[in-house]
Amino acid sequence: HQIYEDSIKRRRRLNLRYCLLTVGMIVGATLLGVALSSVGVTETNIVTLFILTVLFIAYFTDGYIYSIFASVANVLIFNYFFTEPKYTFFAYETGYPLTFLVMGAAAILTSSLTIRGKEEEKIIAQKAYRTDVLLNASRHLQHSDTQEDIYWETASLISRLSNSTVVLYPVSG
């Protein structure tokens, strides 16, 4: 649960490294697309390149903002550089609006699935960590000989699970 909340907090803030990575990958995909187009590669393959770029951005960054930005930017870049008339945001062919819509939707959907998978991976890792801590604590408690050993092991367990400092005050009654 804590990892999920931390993930949400991280997604709400822009990270300079992720911004630079996103812009760099978009520029790289654009340059590669221009090079491929100049040697006769079809627009369909260039669309795939841009969708793949969004997928990579979703994988290497945290948060939806980067991949959504990349999706919108890639649709605009594709329109500007690769559709007739080139170097404008107009498209003569009637099928292009559908292409833009499908391209944007596919990019957003794939990035969303990638981000969700990364969050699930973090949650699974946290559960595995907790299970390991509990198993080790159980083993140590079985071999504890004194009440003081049990106190120390209990404090250690609570500290590891809560990731904070624990002070234990035994009450004698």
The pLDDT tens digits of the residues spanning 70-102 come to 988 998 999 899 988 888 888 777 777 888 888
Task: Name the region of 162 (left: φ>0; alpha: ψ -120 to 50; beta: rest).
Answer: alpha
**Over 70: is that where the pLDDT of 44 sits?**
yes
Among 28-32, 51-55, 71-75, 98-102, the least confident range: 98-102
* Band of residue 1 on the pLDDT scale cut at 50, 70, 90: low
Q: What is the pLDDT of residue 8?
A: 54
Instruction: Identify which has the larger pLDDT, 105 or 5.
Output: 105
* Band of residue 32 on the pLDDT scale cut at 50, 70, 90: very high
**Over 70: is that where the pLDDT of 173 sits?**
no
- 35 neighbors 88 (Cβ within 8 angstroms): no
Q: What is the pLDDT of residue 58?
A: 86
Overall average pLDDT of the 38-65 stretch: 89
Residues 45 and 21: their CA atoms lie apart, in Å, by 23
Radius of gyration of the chain (CA): 25
